[in-house]
Amino acid sequence: MGALLYVVRRRRRAREKARLASGEASAANKASRSQAATQRATASAAKTAASVYGSSSGQRASVLRQSSSFNLGKSNVDIGGVLGMDIGGTLAKLVYFEKKEPPGGMVRTCSRDPLVTMKRNLSLGDLNTREQKEALMQFYTFMDTQEQFGKAGVRDEHLAYYSHELGGQLHFFRFETRLMDQAIELISSSTIHNSIKALGCTGGGAYKFEDFFQKRMGIRMLQMDEMASLVRGLQFCIANIPGECYAFEPEPVKGTGANGKGEEEPMASEQDTFRNMRMRHMSELREKVDYSHKVHRSRTELLQSYPALVVSIGSGVSILKVDGPAKFERVSGSSIGGGTYWGLCRLLTGATDYDDSLDLADQGESDRVDMLVGDIYGHGYNKFQLSSNTLASSFGKLVTKEDPREGVTNEDVSKALIVMVTMNIGQVAYLNAKLYDTRRIYFVGNFLRHNNISAQRLAYAIAYWSGGEMEALFFEHEGYLGALGAFLSSGYEDPDGSSDEES
């Protein structure tokens, strides 16, 4: 009996040893395969970056190849500080910062808002450990290869700006909010979200998509006040980006600086000339005037000019009165904004892409759809100095036709829609500027991107209604000011909108 038990025990021990040996070999093989897959993925990303973007991305590729700590799960590294996001009802905007040496030949400039940029620079300088650098290289390599961010995302590379104050390059992406799920899928497939724990975000989507980001990617939204982010981004651009702010005029205006970008503050006599020229145009404004000449304004003058009105045109419209760098209040708004135009345009023309709808409008004739003063009187209404081509009723001409669609193209409908929304926004903006005695009106928001029809009509309307006393101003980065402000604020500001700067 004892001999039998001995044999049984020996066989059990032998089987156990064999099982353990097999398990260890399997684990080793699995680890080896995982490591090989990681090396292949990293080498592939590095090769792509090096072949497409040259030496800069090649250096990134070298760093990625040297990394042996690639982790498919959530890491302890957080590079979310290089990001800022603004999720609106129609479009989502993303700003990301890439720390790098300045392009050759660029001269360092002094910041016009040193408190913001100094604090933000310090927080960005903390991302210097080996793990953080590896995560940043992986993120930059991924973003470098995304000319289109998902199905409807666009990289606005022409807006990329090197900031000496921050010590790196700012990049800009946008995509339609309705396609958020596709954007998340793209990000998740790259695993770059594993190195992002939190990011500064503003707009209604910062609340609407809070759980979505947390559950799908493990990213916490640092919810930044929407209006505070907008004003901070606007003031950063005015202070630090030459040629950022511009106006539209019927003809060139003196006093905008020798380089045409408003780098020199106009002298008083030049300002008087500017006003006189505007007044001279008032008689011309009764007829159709082409406000198409783009003129950049002086940074120095704008930074010292308060109060000012900020009209943010997103899905709807918000109007802010700004009395100083950190002093502002929301004074008005409208439900008729960019979302109104895009929604009606999709309904009436079947357009599926926002930029394509603007291209349609460029080719359209709104006079085939809109009722003009001349359609009512047969000529102008001279008693009130209204020319025959003055808009009397948006889409009013269709009422008089048996078949409203006869002779009307999708291009005409798109143009009439954009004119209707624009003129309503302009009227509300002018009345608020009159109420709060503000000469300058800043129009911002993605509605104005790729949309000179609206910008030029706003410039014309504000000049006409105010008798040349008010001016409509626009920004090169008009749609990204909120995302930029969220990026700037997330480095040192509490989510409720308060910061060291205001304490």
Q: Which residues are catalytic?
A: 226
Spell out the long-range contacts of 251-260 with Cβ–Cβ below 8 A and sequence spacing 24 or more.
251/277, 251/293, 252/293, 252/295, 253/277, 253/295, 256/295, 256/296, 256/297, 256/298, 257/296, 257/298, 260/295, 260/296
Count other Cβ atoms within 10 Å, centred on residue 294.
Answer: 15
Q: For residue 91, what is the DSSP state?
A: E
d(CA 328, CA 342): 29
d(CA 75, CA 62): 21
- C-alpha 395 chain-centroid distance: 32
- Residue 379, exposed/middle/buried by CB under 10 A (0-12, 13-18, 19+)? exposed
Give whole-number Cα distances, 298 to 112, 238, 244, 470, in Å: 13, 9, 9, 16
d(CA 229, CA 488): 8
**CA-based Rg of the chain, rounded to a whole angstrom?**
29
- 261, 298 Cβ separation under 8 angstroms: no
Residues in contact with 183: Cβ distance below 8 Å, sequence separation at least 6, in sequence order: 92, 149, 150, 153, 175
Question: CA nearest 310: which of 327, 291, 298?
Answer: 327
- Which residues are paired to 220 by β-bridges? 198
- 469, 438 Cβ separation under 8 angstroms: no
- Residue 212, exposed/middle/buried by CB under 10 A (0-12, 13-18, 19+)? middle
- Furthest-apart CA atoms within the chain: distance in Å: 125
d(CA 176, CA 183): 9
- Which residues are paired to 97 by β-bridges? 170
Question: Residue 91 corresponds to which tokens in the numbers above?
Answer: 């479009």
